Amino acid sequence: RCGFVAIVGRPNVGKSTLLNHILGQKLAITSRKPQTTRHNMLGIKTEGAVQAIYVDTPGLHASAGKALNRQMNKNAQSALKDVDVVIFVLDRLHWTEQDQAVAERLKTLPCPLLLAINKTDRLEDKSRLISHMAFLAGELPKAEILPISALKAEGIAQLERRIGELL
């Protein structure tokens, strides 16, 4: 099995840290799959019979208000339709307008969505995690929520296992 996995989220939430843990190292790849031209290719991981191609989606996080960015955003939106799994990375309980904007774009996607609540090693108030997960489930009802720490490599194995099952 082989598929494309998009990693999305606002800057500084830990996307690169997560990817570095998954891949061990960054790789430049080429692929004959048509999706290749629609994404920045970040790396590829093969494990057993499963091959996951990690991509980001140029333009997704550009500020939507600027007219200049509108076409770019449209392109990003259609590019996202071209992936098999989306990982939306969040920083603990810090839900911002930017996260909300990304969530709006993800709502309409047909593919499975994994919500990775990152940096749980530095969670200020653990007792609020459950209610925050309930809030997120309200925002993105179809998403699966997985608390992780990319830095401490906690929850990454579970995340990768789910990706393997979904591809």
- For residue 149, state whether it binds ligand GDP (rule: CB under 6 A): yes
Q: What are the tokens at 109?
A: 């996607």
According to CB under 5 A, which one of 16, 20, 51, 69 is a site residue for Mg ion? 16
The answer to whether 140 touches 103, Cβ cutoff 8 Å, is yes
According to CB under 6 A, which one of 122, 126, 128, 142 is a site residue for ligand GDP? 122
Residue 11 beta carbon to Mg ion: minimum distance, rounded to whole angstroms: 7
Residue 92 beta carbon to ligand GDP: minimum distance, rounded to whole angstroms: 9
Rounded CA-CA distance 167/99 in Å is 25
Q: Which of residues 16 and 51 has its CB atom nearest to ligand GDP in the complex? A: 16
The answer to whether 143 touches 113, Cβ cutoff 8 Å, is yes
Q: What are the tokens at 145?
A: 């929520």
Instruction: Name the strand (E) or helix (H) holding 5.
Output: strand 2-8
60 known ligand binder: yes
Q: What would the x/- binding string for Mg ion be over residues 32 to 61, using CB under 5 A?
A: ------------------------------
Q: Which stretch binds Mg ion (CB under 5 A): 15-23, 83-91, 105-113, 152-160?
A: 15-23
Rounded CA-CA distance 132/12 in Å is 20
159 known ligand binder: no
92-123: b (≥16 Cβ within 10 Å) or e: bbeeeeebebbbebbeeeebbbbbbbbbbeeb
Number of shown-chain residues binding Mg ion (CB under 5 A): 2
Q: Which of residues 133 and 151 has its CB atom nearest to Mg ion in the complex? A: 151
Interacting residue ranges for ligand GDP, rule: CB under 6 A = 9, 11-17, 118-119, 121-122, 149-151
Instruction: Please report, in range form, the residues annotated as the binding site for GTP.
Output: 9-16, 56-60, 118-121
